[in-house]
Structure formats: structure tokens, C-alpha cells
Amino acid sequence: MTALHICLTGATGFIGRRLCTRLGDRRTWTAVGRTPPADVGLPIAFHAADLSQEGDARNAIPEGTDVLVHLACYRGGDKDVTGHFRTTTAGTLFLCDAARRAGVKRIVLLSSTSVYEPSLPAAGVIGEDDRRVYSRPLAYAFTKKWAEDAARLQALMAEPNISCWILRPGMVVGTGLRESSWIRSTVRRLVAGEEYPLVGERGHHLGLVALEDVVDALAVAIGGQEPPGTEAPGPVWNLVGETWWERDVVETLARAVGVDPKFEASTGQGLARWNEEALSVAGDGSKWLREVGGITPRALAPLLEQAARGA
């Protein structure tokens, strides 16, 4: 991988920062963003560009870049549809154009399993034409995510000379979670003694994956060969190490910080505005990790406990 020239967006995010500290190389890695990272110790070069501006994005990717790793996404409010389109969707369109001009051979896009419908059947690989890719999710937040993802996929598919990998992790657990993350928010709620709204007996079915497994999977996507049997323009992979019921996750977090969880009867709108139907974001992502990436998924219980104590 050291011979590859990598251009990375989202370098200062939860996953991007860990990817840089694990694999970054100032000689071959360039981060693109509006402002340089506050931590100048990241082992990467930096190019200032506002990806929502076509002129900036057009020149964002250095000529000779082999792989574009697109992790950046809009962190504005749920209702800011314009901001989401301008920054996430249009930004990807502009980046694809820049990638073509720079001679990029591969684009790796990080998405999320939250774009799928409920009760997703277990599958290691999901093709672009699979109906599940275009099925409408349940709640507003998921619908918005699906719409953005569909637009970004269309941009990627319009680049027939560039191979594409789309990785969709479940809920990522590891060191450095954002304050606004569901895990940290839930821990604050538990410590404050607030009741937690749970749909039904066990809540939602969640797909969890370790941060380090996601970084390992990105390494495979960045420098790996496409597995036999995959069809152009490239695979869409679920990344899930374990599936947990929401109640079990909350109870594990509560034990780690030494409190008893208080569950309240849900009115149908949970913390993330999910509705009453249990949501599966699983698929058989661990099968991909094991068989394609050569990765044995890390156990999630210790990571959840560590994240709770860190919060």
C-alpha cells in the first residue's frame, strides 16, 4: 500500500483519523478538507478545498492519485436538506469529476447499513441492482441517508473506468466516538438517571462493528484485489461484526458505568426517531470480514464497556 498515492476526505473524523494514524504516509497520502486538522501530528499532507464548491473540488485531487477514499459527510442538522445535498451529494459529484481528471483508478466510499429496509436478509455481497439497495428505510433520518447514498452511487457508477468499492458498516464502536454519537448520548442519559425508551421487549436489532475492523476493511478496499465472482462496477459490502438487541447494548453500557438502566414504554418514537417496527441493520457482514478481508471480527462487549467508561 505504501506505493499507492491516496487522496482522503474526512481525515479528521472518527474513522478517518484512525485510518490516518494506522496507515497514513505524508509522502503518499493527501487529505482534502476546508480547514487543516487541529492535530498537526497526523501523518498526512493536507490540501485545503471546499468540496461543496465545484471550482475547489475540481482541483482537489493531486494528479497521479491512485485511490480516492471518500469518508466525508455533512454533519449539519437533519432538516438541513440543502446543506446535505450541497456538501454530501454535490460534493461527491464534483469529486468524481476531479478523480477522472487526476487519473484515479479506484474510489472507496464509506456508507452505512442504515440505508437498508427492515429485516435485511443475510448476504455478504449486495449488487448495485439489488432491490434492497433502493428500498425505502423507515424513518426520516434513514430516508435522507438513503437519498444521499443513491445520488452518490449514481455518481460513482457514471465512472466506468474507475473501480468502486462501497463499504457499509453498522454502528461503529471504538475509541474517539463523537460526543453526539448514540453510544455517548445513551451513556449520558443513563448516568443522569433518565428513562430510556425501548420499543417492545428488546428494541431494535443492531449491527455493530469494531472501529479497527472497519479500518482493516478499508485497507483491503484501498489496496486489495476484487474478490472472484464480483461484478463491475464493484462490490457493495456490509461490515458487521456482531448483531445485538438494543436492550442488551443499553444494559452493557449501564453496567460499565455502574448504574441500573430504567426502561420506559415507548410511544413509537425512539431516541433516533425510529418507528415501532424493529430495524435490522445486520446482513452477514462478518462473513465478508472473515472470507474476503481475512479479518476475524473483534468482540464488541469489551469495546462497548470501554466506550461507556470513556464517555
Q: Does residue 204 lie in a domain region?
A: no
Which CATH number does the domain housing residue 39 bear?
A: 3.40.50.720
**Position 281 pLDDT exceeds 80:** no
**Position 190 pLDDT exceeds 90:** yes
Q: What pLDDT was estimated at residue 272?
A: 43
The band of 98, judged by pLDDT with boundaries at 50, 70 and 90, is: confident
Which has more confidence, 78 or 258?
A: 258
**How far, in Å, CA of 247 to CA of 242, rounded?**
15
Domain assignment of residue 167, given as a range:
6-174+209-241
Q: Does residue 256 lie in a domain region?
A: no
Q: Does residue 301 lie in a domain region?
A: no
Q: Does residue 196 lie in a domain region?
A: no
pLDDT, one tens digit per residue, over 136-167 is 344 445 555 656 666 666 666 666 778 888 88
Per-residue exposure over 64-88, b if at least 16 CB sit within 10 Å of its own CB, e if not: ebbbbbbbbbbeeeeeeeeebbbbb
Q: Structural domain tally of the chain?
A: 1
Q: Does residue 311 lie in a domain region?
A: no
Q: Does residue 41 lie in a domain region?
A: yes
Q: What pLDDT was estimated at residue 275?
A: 39
Q: Does residue 309 lie in a domain region?
A: no
Torsion of CA 179, 185, 188, 192, to 10 degrees: 140
Q: Does residue 305 lie in a domain region?
A: no
The band of 278, judged by pLDDT with boundaries at 50, 70 and 90, is: very low
Best-predicted range by mean pLDDT (164-178, 195-209, 248-262, 288-302): 248-262
